[in-house]
Amino acid sequence: MDVAIIGGGIAGLAFALALHQRGLPCTVYEGVREVREVGVGITLLPHAMRELTALGLLDEIRAVAIENEESVFYNRWGQYIYREPRGRHAGHEHPEFGIHRGKLHGILHRAALQRLGPQRVRTGHRCEGVLIEDEGVTLRFAAPPGGAAAPDPVRAAIAVACDGVHSAVRRQLHPTDRLCFAGINTWRGTTVHRPILSGRSYLRIGSIATGKMVIYPIVDNVDGQGNQLINWVAEIGREGSAMNDWNQPGRLEDFLPTFERWRFDWLDVPALISGAQSIFEYPMVDRDPLPSWGQGRVTLMGDAAHPMYPRGSNGSAQALLDARTLADELAASVTAGTPPQAALRRYEDQRLPATARVVQTNRTLPPDAIIMKADELSGGQPFGRIDDLISADELRAISRHYQQVAGFALKN
């Protein structure tokens, strides 16, 4: 069984490593010609780290990441609402890390090259469609820029599309499917800054309705003077707003005015934003859950299968769970001598409803619902003590609900 993996991002590379670990041959087909460590920050939750640890990558990740100790919530006035320990500090077996997305991708890519061999990780192969037949699949690739010929088609036993939110394979299989945009845009950047709070704190400030910031460190002592590289995300929801472009340079004037008065005794938010070397804009989008992902010998994985709002740091975790689940099902199919199509359907039966719940929860009751609840009770105005509005136990219940849906709640 030779598996064609379409896309060499987090999902595709983790899936390739999981298949190799189980003795199953596969080849990754990535669209870009040169893999570079680009992007901004990403949070790896404990269940994500469980999967990456099983792939033997814990030490490499730990060496370039920052372990989160706590998650802290504030309103837009800088008033404390709720704090909870994270990862191992909350009793999980595995840590929670903040890391530069490019660093994580580089670790996965190097591991795939080393373990599978470079001939099994092919760049410059942007898949534009698949031919699905009873006995196999054929991948068709787009011609590269500059007039060169397209790579030859490739035949495989099955194909798994890990080609992201704009997946060509998803578009082929589900032609009426559309991106969902509800007027929320984001801007992202990284800033060299002194440690904030504990220096191991994941911060959420404000809400979509008033402007929201997510802030956490991703590199320690980045300049040899004790400063950290701080990842930040600004999110603003405006009814009727036009959708931001993808991964394009952002303009301060488009969003900084929303945060201009966010100067607290523990953080100057406008200074943090203005100190970024570069800013990128993105729309906050997802897609409605599908009734099924694949067809015959083809299925979807990661953002190609279940793109979700980037709330709760859960996209990468769900992709990693996809990868391990399908690798296990394909290995079981080989052992039992059953057709791989059955393994693909078992994978979808497990992962589609689970990820659909996360997609819907990220829309309606994400982790920052804690801040939204406090704003509702205070009328969006400053308050005296949070305990006068709502108890810590009630806020903890909101947090635990999300953790249960996402699949990383503690069992006790």
Is 319 found in the same domain as 387?
no
Query: Do the domain assignments include residue 88?
Result: no
Q: Which residue has the higher pLDDT, 408 or 301?
A: 301
Is 389 found in the same domain as 245?
yes
Q: What is the pLDDT of residue 405?
A: 86
Mean residue pLDDT of the chain comes to: 94
Is 146 found in the same domain as 44?
yes
| Strands across the sheet containing 154-156 | 127-133, 136-141, 154-156
Query: Do the domain assignments include residue 158?
Result: yes
pLDDT by residue (tens digit) across 323-370? 999 999 999 999 999 999 999 999 999 999 999 999 999 888 888 899
Identify the CATH number of the domain in which residue 234 sits. 3.30.9.30
Is 245 found in the same domain as 201?
yes
Measured CA to CA, the distance from residue 116 to residue 96 in angstroms comes to: 28
Query: Do the domain assignments include residue 373?
Result: yes
The predicted model scores a pTM of 0.94
pLDDT by residue (tens digit) across 221-236? 999 999 999 999 999 9
Q: What is the pLDDT of residue 195?
A: 97
In the predicted model, what is the mean pLDDT of residues 134-150? Answer: 91
Query: Do the domain assignments include residue 53?
Result: yes
Is 197 found in the same domain as 238?
yes
Q: What is the pLDDT of residue 312?
A: 79
pLDDT by residue (tens digit) across 240-258? 889 999 878 999 999 999 9
pLDDT at 104 over 90: yes
Q: Of 332, 348, 364, which one is at a domain's C-terminal end?
A: 364
Is 388 found in the same domain as 258?
yes
Identify the CATH number of the domain in which residue 347 sits. 3.50.50.60
Percent of the chain past pLDDT 70, that is, above it, reads 100
Is 186 found in the same domain as 162?
no
Contacts of 224 (CB under 8 A, 6+ apart): none
pLDDT at 98 over 70: yes
pLDDT at 101 over 80: yes
Is 268 found in the same domain as 248?
yes
Q: What is the pLDDT of residue 410?
A: 85
Domain count, the chain: 2
Query: Do the domain assignments include residue 166?
Result: yes
Q: What is the pLDDT of residue 121?
A: 97
Structure confidence at residue 412 as a pLDDT band (50, 70, 90) = low
Is 342 found in the same domain as 308?
yes
Is 302 found in the same domain as 187?
no
Is 34 found in the same domain as 116?
yes
- Structural domain of 146: 3-66+97-178+288-364
Query: Do the domain assignments include residue 224?
Result: yes
Query: Do the domain assignments include residue 381?
Result: yes
Is 293 found in the same domain as 250?
no
Q: What is the pLDDT of residue 407?
A: 82
